[in-house]
Amino acid sequence: MTELTGPTNTTKVVVDVMLKPEILDPQGQAVSAALPRLGFNFASSVRQGKRFEIEVEGEVTVEKLAEITKAAETLLANPVIETFVVKVEN
């Protein structure tokens, strides 16, 4: 018998990657400059980063989280210029 593994058996882990505050962020600056041109004046600064939504099979153990953190350091973020946060959703 084959086991059906639908989205109910997976956990979503989110990795948010942002440029370090001291690193210039041209994308964020472009958004920041475009907002007032469109009539939006709420923002004093905008930074743009990346969000990774990772579906993990089964339970998220401490070991799995450590592995995800290692992958974030290696592949998802460049620790020289970026910081990242790993979060388990729900």
Q: Closest separation between CB of residue 81 and a copy of itself, Å?
A: 16
Q: How far is the CB of 7 from a copy of itself (least distance, A)?
A: 9
**Smallest distance from a copy of itself to CB 73, Å:** 11
Q: Are strands 10-19 and 82-88 parallel, antiparallel or unpaired?
A: antiparallel
Contact 66, 11 (CB under 8 A): no
Q: Which residues pair with 32 in a beta bridge?
A: none
From candidates 1, 4, 38, 62, binder to a copy of itself by CB under 8 A:
38
**49 or 78: CB nearest a copy of itself:** 49
Provide the residue type at 26 as one letter: P
31 binds a copy of itself (CB under 8 A): yes
Our finding on whether 77 is near a copy of itself (CB under 8 A) is no
Confirm if 49 and 34 have CB atoms less than 8 A apart: no
| Out of 10, 29, 78, 83, the residue judged to bind a copy of itself by CB under 8 A | 10
84 neighbors 17 (Cβ within 8 angstroms): yes
